[in-house]
Amino acid sequence: MADTRIRLLIHGASGRMGRAVLRLAAADARVEIAGAVNRSGNKVDGVRALPSERLSAALPFDVLVDFSQPEAFDAALELCLQRGTALVCGTTGLSNAQRAAMASASASIPLLWAANFSVGVAVMHELVARAAGALPGWECHLVETHHAHKRDAPSGTALSLGESIANARGAPPQYLSLRAGDVVGEHLAQFTGHGERLELIHRATDRDIFARGAIEAAARIAGRGPGLYSLGRVLLG
Ligand code: NAD
């Protein structure tokens, strides 16, 4: 019988996220690991990896799953365009030019970028938009806390929650970023009125939620037509 598993190329495989994706994908019968790529080319948890300078030599794959860094993103997108394959990307801190390149690539390939692959945050987008629309005169702050190694600030998740808020009330929130210890990721949207305060908070305590969301997204967009897919539409809709 033909093997119908979706072949994943894991880009950024030696990172905190890449390793979680590798581990969970190995246990998911819908997908198989077609390859792993990292900067050094050193093995990752026993899985052979290709160094990023040899990315173009990757074996055939259906979806590239990218959790790397902005400086590695262009090569990953280019490979997907050359091969006509889907891209699921969770890398944050991308430049406006990289976001624009992604939008134009979506005319040719299926593409899904999400600042946060958790289902809870997908729902939080709807909740903050509702609160912002209902409380137009209130102050709004977005406070995010992440581990000390996180490079970009505010986090991609804070910025995308902020976009949902700005769309609903016409003004972005004020952002505050904390970098501390090993915090996986916390986002607090705080709406402050006179004598009352509304707080919506999401706490991620395990990176596996993001890895699982990305694998689910990959399984669902493989084989679809070109387009820029949203996580909400693919996972919840
Ligand atoms: P990390 O630093 O632990 O790992 C980065 C990986 O990218 C490593 O495998 C490294 O070898 C590779 N890399 C770095 N620079 C490279 C280069 N120039 N060329 C080729 N490869 C390179 O990072 P992490 O914590 O795993 O996070 C990765 C990205 O995912 C970050 O942007 C982070 O903000 C984001 N993230 C997104 C979500 C989400 O749900 N969307 C969740 C967590 C983290």
**Residue nearest atom 35 of ligand 1, based on CA coordinates:** 91
Tokens of 216: 């689910």
The whole-model pTM stands at: 0.92
Active-site annotation, residues? 146, 150
Q: How far apart are CA 24 and CA 212, in angstroms?
A: 7
Q: Classify residue 60 by its DSSP letter.
A: P
For 188-208, b/e burial (b = at least 16 CB within 10 A) is bbbbeeeeeeeebebebeebe
Ligand 1: centre distance to CA 175 (Å) = 22
Q: How far apart are CA 146 and CA 4, in angstroms?
A: 38
* Residue of 23, 24, 52, 69 with the most ligand 1 atoms within 8 Å of its CB, for mutation: 69
Residue 207: predicted pLDDT: 94
**Residue nearest atom 15 of ligand 1, based on CA coordinates:** 69
* Residue of 67, 89, 119 with the most ligand 1 atoms within 8 Å of its CB, for mutation: 67
CB proximity list for 71: less than 8 A, separation 6 or greater: none
Helix (H) or strand (E) holding 185: strand 185-192
List ligand 1's pocket residues with C-beta within 6 A: 12-18, 38-39, 52, 67-69, 71-72, 90-93, 114-117, 210
pLDDT in tens, 123-157: 999 999 999 999 999 999 999 999 999 999 999 99
Q: How confident is the model at residue 100 (pLDDT cuts 50, 70, 90)?
A: very high
**Residue nearest atom 17 of ligand 1, based on CA coordinates:** 72
| Ligand 1 atom with the shortest distance to the CA of 70 | 32
Q: What domains are defined for the chain?
A: 6-113+208-236 (3.40.50.720), 119-204 (3.30.360.10)
| Ligand 1 atom with the shortest distance to the CA of 214 | 40
Ligand 1: centre distance to CA 126 (Å) = 27
Q: How confident is the model at residue 3 (pLDDT cuts 50, 70, 90)?
A: confident
| Ligand 1 atom with the shortest distance to the CA of 68 | 7
Q: How confident is the model at residue 1 (pLDDT cuts 50, 70, 90)?
A: low
Q: How far apart are CA 232 and CA 170, in angstroms?
A: 22
